[in-house]
Amino acid sequence: MMMQRLRRSEEFIRFGCESLINLRPNKNSVPRSVSGFVTHYDTKGKLFESNVGNHYNTHRCLGRNLGMLQQYKCFGSSSASQIERKPLFSSLDSKDVSSFKEILGDKNVVEDEERLETANTDWMKKYKGSSKLMLLPKNTEEVSQILQYCDSRRLAVVPQGGNTGLVGGSVPVFDEVIINVGLMNKVLAFDEVSGVLVCEAGCILENLATFLDTKGFIMPLDLGAKGSCHIGGNVSTNAGGLRLIRYGSLHGTVLAVTANGNVLDMLGTLRKDNTGYDLKHLFIGSEGSLGIVTKVSILTQPKLSSVNLAFIACKDYLSCQKILVEAKKNLGEILSAFEFLDNNSMDLVLNHLDGVRNPVSSTENFYILIETTGSDETNDREKLEAFLLKSLEKGLVSDGVIAQDINQASSFWRIREGITEALQKAGAVYKYDLSLPVEEIYNIVNDLRRRLGELANVMGYGHLGDGNLHLNISAADYNDKLIGLIEPYVYEWTSKHRGSISAEHGLGVMKANEIFYSKSPETVAIMASIKKLLDPKGILNPYKVLPHSLFSH
Amino acid sequence: MKILVAVKRVVDYAVKIRVKPDKTGVDTQNVKMSMNPFCEIALEEALRIKEAGFAKEVVAVSIGPSQCVDTLRTGLAMGADRGIHVETNSSFLPLTIAKILKSLAEFENPGLIFLGKQAIDDDCNQTGQMVAALLGWPQATFASKVVLDKDKHVATVDREVDGGLETLCVDLPAVITTDLRLNQPRYASLPNIMKAKSKPIKKMTVQDLKVDVKSDIEILQVTEPPQRKSGVMVSSVDELIDKLRNEAHVV
């Protein structure tokens, strides 16, 4: 949400001041923010440049002080350190640049170093490429022309939107040309009867939400990055978010895409269309490896006026599961969000964020956020109260509060959404996004706690309603021993329970080689065939999504 | 001692409001309504005083349409003992509200009346002061701290004023209006919500209270503030002076 972006900029100002004042090198301190969740705002090139190679390296400021090699080493398992640039790809030359300028015009061919610095680095400051060129097409034809040229020249490309992904999928690994769709940000059509919105891929999610708000509609997805992420990127990564439990995934709500591996125009606004294989599903979630989404047509929902939010506490995970079942039964059609967090997460937030307090007066082991959205205020409120009181009587809920106005609701959400920020402030963090059967979700947290003991603080929180756990391990600093204990243990554990090693974040470059933990070799082989069919030269977002071993000739 | 707290149902603070096309007021159809934030603070303070043992009963009162019952239920869920709903479909201005509250005060005999310093929909900041004047009671407005002395029947109140803080000592019974920094209102907890279901809300009408509701003020029009005009680039100092003198009339 916008709030998160503003919070991050506050963060930046505070850290920024520290770094300017505290110029003494401190050899023992590892930069706390190498974890990655430092602000989206850049370190302004110069500060970073001067840090490389000199004693400011161990400076406690805005991350990325360590050289790239060391950064990968901190993360240990990152396969990025083992990737080699494919020799088959051509290198950019001046003739290419002038050809692009002919297609796009001079202004939209970016070679400026500062802008490339930002475009080359991912939101978490964890991955950095070395691209020398960024292209800004204005429409589908330009995208098509660029891609045809790159294909003929065998130039690797990276499609880029808001660059808010968490698995390094939106930035170059080496010198791939960045194709950023940010200029394609027009809303093309909106039908107020059917609720179908047609827009270009570069529209920022929050802007779309604001536009729809004036018409009395809402987007079917909502996530923390909405102030910066593009709808094209959301579609390409099949983004999940807080509303998935109510409105389903983008596979259900996106009606069509225009994708430009080789100019596929499937843009339609029909709710039902059973003519042949539904290819749009290939592109939704393909993370830019099969084609670049240029336009999206999406089904939006009418905005409902009555929103209620409850924050409840439970003694154990079994109660959480029972409450989920009961909530779906009793709140059924009005349930719009079901999130959980454990006590460690709550403690972290209370310790590291300002102005938050535990809404519930007692400390418990688990906390749940239940949100309902409906059209009848009194009715919904009564339903929610009745459900919660019954749960209280049955002993499933030990305590809870219901938000009385939007301010209180925001403060409840702040706790759940502030965990990411608090993790960043607490030191080093290892992040995992897993889908597991609901009854297993907390077992992995407990197992990992036993395994790591005093070494780290293990936290579990996430979209319980969707069976999606955000597993986070927080430690004072990064070390290889810790990472060795965590990986591949977490992946193997997930695989054993037939879970997904990436519920909503995608594979990107971070987990490209781990896909076998969640998909069989036969399935992956077919994926590779489809990739070779749609992108024979492999120029679209290489080194990502699928294992590198499948493509080395 | 009994404490009377007046709470108002207003458009939620976080909602983006729109003016109705006929300019008679703000659009409140399908818009989230909640208790006025300053009224929440007033109720919270009353509850704390009761918990400290200085009062026996906290009574919440709201004046307005039938949906005010929701607001009163919130008050009961926070911990008020009972509610009074003065039902009316008219939208009353502060003086009328003050007359109604005066009548109620004569009926209930509270030792303290708490109100929010102002409502966020009209920003009048008048009702508390008018109630005190009509009753002939002392008033301490914009309270940021309230300390009661049971034996001496006085309240020592810190007020937030433009120049800083002013400390007043007022004899009870008195009227206190609350400001932002007085306290942080509690959330409505489930056990309290459950208890609130059995707490009574008495319905009354303006006729019961024998109040003359004729208003001397008529609202003619409600409009949005003028859109901010975009800036103009000038090409020379002379042009700037010319514009400042002849267009903006500030020189």
Contact B13 A401 (CB under 8 A): no
Q: What is the widest separation between alpha-carbon atoms in chain B?
A: 75
Which positions in chain B touch A377 (Cβ < 8 Å)?
A: 32, 70
CB distance from A403 to chain B under 8 Å? yes
CB distance from A354 to chain B under 8 Å? no
- For residue A228, the distance in angstroms to the closest alpha carbon of chain B comes to 22
Best mutation site among A405, A412, A414 for testing chain B: the one with the most B CBs within 10 Å? A405
pLDDT confidence of residue B53: 92
Which of these, A490, A500, A436, lies nearest to A458 by C-alpha position? A490
DSSP string computed for A361-379:
SS--SEEEEEEEEES-HHH
What is the rounded CA–CA span in Å between residue A438 and residue A98?
55
- For residue A93, the distance in angstroms to the closest alpha carbon of chain B comes to 42
DSSP-based three-state secondary structure for B156: strand
Contact B190 A389 (CB under 8 A): yes
- For residue B46, the distance in angstroms to the closest alpha carbon of chain A comes to 18
Contact B187 A408 (CB under 8 A): yes
pLDDT confidence of residue A270: 78
Which of these, A131, A118, A134, lies nearest to A40 by C-alpha position? A118
Q: Which residues of chain B have pLDDT under 50?
A: none
The answer to whether the beta carbons of residues A388 and A371 sit under 8 Å apart is no
- What distances in angstroms separate CA A179 from CA A537, B57, B147, one per listed residue? 17, 68, 65
The answer to whether the beta carbons of residues B32 and B38 sit under 8 Å apart is no
Q: Which residue of B has its CA nearest to A376?
A: B30
Question: Is residue A98 packed enough to be buried (19+ CB in 10 Å), middle (13-18) or exposed (0-12)?
Answer: exposed
DSSP-based three-state secondary structure for A209: helix
Q: What is the mean pLDDT of each run of 10 residues along chain A (553 residues)?
A: 41 34 35 30 30 33 34 38 82 91 90 92 85 92 88 92 90 93 93 91 93 90 85 91 79 69 67 82 89 89 89 93 93 91 94 90 91 89 92 92 90 89 84 91 93 92 92 88 90 92 91 89 93 89 88 60
Contacts of A293 (CB under 8 A, 6+ apart): A159, A201, A232, A235, A236, A257, A258, A259, A283
Strands A306-314 and B82-87 turn out to be unpaired
Q: Which residue of A has its CA nearest to B189?
A: A401
pLDDT confidence of residue A257: 65
pLDDT confidence of residue B85: 96
pLDDT confidence of residue A536: 87
Q: Which residue of A has its CA nearest to B9?
A: A405
| pLDDT one-digit tens code per residue, B197-221 | 899 999 999 988 888 888 888 889 9
Task: Give pTM, 2 decimals.
Answer: 0.78
Nearest residue, CB atoms, B193 vs list A305, A378, A402: A402
Nearest residue, CB atoms, B193 vs list A305, A306, A385: A385
Contact B189 A388 (CB under 8 A): no
Residue with tokens 């003198």: B245
What is the rounded CA–CA span in Å between residue A382 and residue A399?
18
From the centroid of its chain, how far is CA A490?
19
Contact B188 A404 (CB under 8 A): yes
CB distance from A359 to chain B under 8 Å? yes
What is the rounded CA–CA span in Å between residue B117 and residue B137?
17
Residue B62 is inside which H or E element, if any? strand B57-64
| pLDDT one-digit tens code per residue, B99-129 | 999 999 999 999 999 999 999 999 999 999 9
Nearest residue, CB atoms, A407 vs list B14, B191, B194: B14
The answer to whether the beta carbons of residues A386 and A334 sit under 8 Å apart is no
Which positions in chain B touch A404 (Cβ < 8 Å)?
A: 34-35, 40, 74, 77, 187-188
Nearest residue, CB atoms, B189 vs list A377, A400, A408: A400
Identify residues of B whose CB sits under 8 angstroms from chain A CBs: 12-15, 30-32, 34-35, 37, 40, 70, 74, 77, 184, 187-191, 193-194
User: How far is the first Cα of chain A from the last one, in angstroms, to the nearest whole number?
Assistant: 44
Contact A402 B13 (CB under 8 A): no
Residue B84 is inside which H or E element, if any? strand B82-87
What is the rounded CA–CA span in Å between residue B19 and residue B24?
8
Which positions in chain B touch A312 (Cβ < 8 Å)?
A: 190
Omega before B226 within 30 of 0, i.e. cis: no
- For residue B73, the distance in angstroms to the closest alpha carbon of chain A comes to 10
